[in-house]
Amino acid sequence: MKQPNILITGTPGVGKSYLSQRLAKKFGFKWQNVSDIVSEHGFVEEYDEEFECPVLDEDRLLDYLEPIMQEGGNVVEYHSSEFFPQRWFDVVYVVRCGTSILYERLQERGYNERKVRSNMECEIFQIPLDEAKDSYLSAIIYELQSDKDSDLEDNLTKVSEWLENWRSTNKSQ
């Protein structure tokens, strides 16, 4: 049986990487950290000086990921989701975080004030959640709160339950 592909998305600093690493390890999935893939393979069109970040070459990234995604068993992590094909994912988790906690996390990362403000606005206005809702079937989108350590364990349990249900539903495939 082919394993499902899971998308973990959300504003930078909400806890996507930590959750993705734990999920991949727990279930034996491959963690596809899109930011690392972009850096490693140079899938960059230019560098945005204002926000101090690379501008993604989506076409080259998608061409690279296509055969990987066909294999299944991937946890894909990225702060944006709208450009990924819907067919790639069996479930989409949007990780959320309280703004006061997020502000502290972004400050600890050393982000400049403009980048902190931009990411805070993304979380306040639910940009990652809206992107997911505009790009994927509502039935496969779930929100996960990631404010404290106990939230991580709760989130792992929620994903475990989803995976157990997915496996029982897809036994014959």
Domain definitions of the chain by residue range:
6-157
pLDDT score of 7: 98
Residue 82: closest CA among 139, 34, 130, 32? 130
Q: Is 123 exposed, middle or buried (0-12, 13-18, 19+ CB in 10 A)?
A: buried
CA distance 3 to 108: 36
> What is the average per-residue pLDDT within 125-140?
97
Average confidence score pLDDT of the chain: 94
Q: Cα 112 vs. chain centroid, distance in angstroms?
A: 23
User: For the packed helices 127-135 and 113-124, what is the interaxial angle rounded to 10 degrees?
Assistant: 50
User: pLDDT, tens digit, for every residue of 13-70?
Assistant: 999 999 999 999 999 999 999 999 999 999 999 888 877 778 899 999 999 999 999 9
CA distance 91 to 50: 33
Residue 50: closest CA among 123, 101, 115? 115
CA distance 53 to 148: 27
Residue 172 pLDDT class (50, 70, 90 cuts): low
CA distance 106 to 123: 12
Q: Which CATH superfamily is domain 6-157 in?
A: P-loop containing nucleotide triphosphate hydrolases (3.40.50.300)
> What is the average per-residue pLDDT within 168-173?
80
Cross-strand pairs, 32:
76
Report the amino acid identity of residue 118: S
Quick check: 1 pLDDT over 60?
no
- For tokens 């501008």, the residue is 55
> What is the average per-residue pLDDT within 101-127?
95
Least confident of 34-48, 69-83, 88-102, 132-146: 34-48
pLDDT score of 173: 55
Residue 103 pLDDT class (50, 70, 90 cuts): very high
pLDDT score of 48: 81
